Structure 1
């Protein structure tokens, strides 16, 4: 699914976040230590190589909602923007912290004059955030930020499963 929001292309697709060759930046659903983990963090770290963890180490630990930027190393992108999403039921207020991830990642992208960015579904894996709720918050935040973005021309949500992609497509269709 592909739509325009305030002149910015926003799309959702099922795929591998580590294989987004046409995106300048990819977002890592990071852990606080910015180390290899499971899910998105594991996929990006495996593809980028050990330099990704080395580059993140001096910036760790990060707090829920925070975003930091590193090079992408062996990934086909220029940058990785690392965001620590909230653990559902533990980090409160969950929705505010999740929205901060997207907002702060977009701000980091703007600082680096990035034109295209790919997001995963932050906090919905091991951190337990319900996918439909996470998708609604993500789309609302991204479309709400769109009028203020000057560099970004394309925002892509890359979802691991077809079910997640459907949830994000539904949320995108309902956003305005």
Structure 2
């Protein structure tokens, strides 16, 4: 099941929210900074112990002061226009979902990974995100995963509505 909302991902009550992190996992701009601020200093401390994350991969921490029980940190690609960008972005969604399943989680919320400071074109990113999530859900029906695609702004929400309708 996939649903879309427009709002602040740090306020969602789900098993895990996904953080569009940088390779250090030590906080940054946009959604990454907002998640670290809302979760509090304990999140940063746990992230230090993870020793970073490769682009396309995902790691999990507790949610601390967030309503979400966990944060799944994934590092999207910095957009360069190469086909590798799309593959890495798809991997972010697939690896985050698989990590949620491995940890027996059943609800997850994604931001628009790589579309902010990393410059990935929002329309293409939405296409990749929805295709990856739909494929994963088809391949993992026993996971009973509820996926929320959280748009921060109206333009992204509109893109998400078009993708969900496909």
Q: TM-score range by the shorter chain?
A: over 0.9
Q: Post-superposition shift, 1:100?
A: 0.2
2:17 maps to which of 6, 14, 26: 26
Offset at 1:90?
A: 7.2
After superposition, give the CA deviation of every residue in 1:77-106 in whole Å (9 maximum; x if it has no partner): 111000000000177600000000000000
The residue correspondences of 1:76-155 to structure 2 (distance < 5 A) are 76-89=67-80, 93-149=84-140, 150-155=142-147
Query: Using the alignment, how far apart are the partners of 1:95 and 1:52 within structure 2?
Result: 29
Query: CA 1:152 to 1:45, structure 2 compared with 1: closer, same or farther past 3 Å?
Result: farther
TM-score (norm 1): 0.90
- Offset at 1:151? 2.7
Are the equivalent residues in 1 in contact too, given 2:2–2:148 (CA < 8 A)? yes
- Residues 104-158 of structure 1 deviation map (CA, whole Å, 9 limit, x = unaligned): 0000000011110000000000000000000000000000111232234310011
Query: Helix, strand or coil for the counterpart of 2:78?
Result: coil
TM-score by length of 2: 0.95
Select the residue among 26, 30, 48 that pairs with 1:35: 26
CA–CA separation in structure 2 for the residues paired with 1:125 and 1:147:
29
Unaligned runs of 5+ in 1: 1-8
What do you get for the CA RMSD once the two structures are aligned?
Answer: 1.3
Secondary structure, aligned partner of 1:93: helix
**How far, CA to CA, are the matches of 2:20 and 2:145 in structure 1?**
22
* Residue segments in structure 2 that go unaligned for 5+ positions in a row: none
Distance 2:82 2:20 in 1: 15
| Total equivalences in the alignment | 165
Structure 2: how far apart are the matches of 1:121 and 1:66?
16
Cα 1:101–1:26 change in 2 (3 A) is same
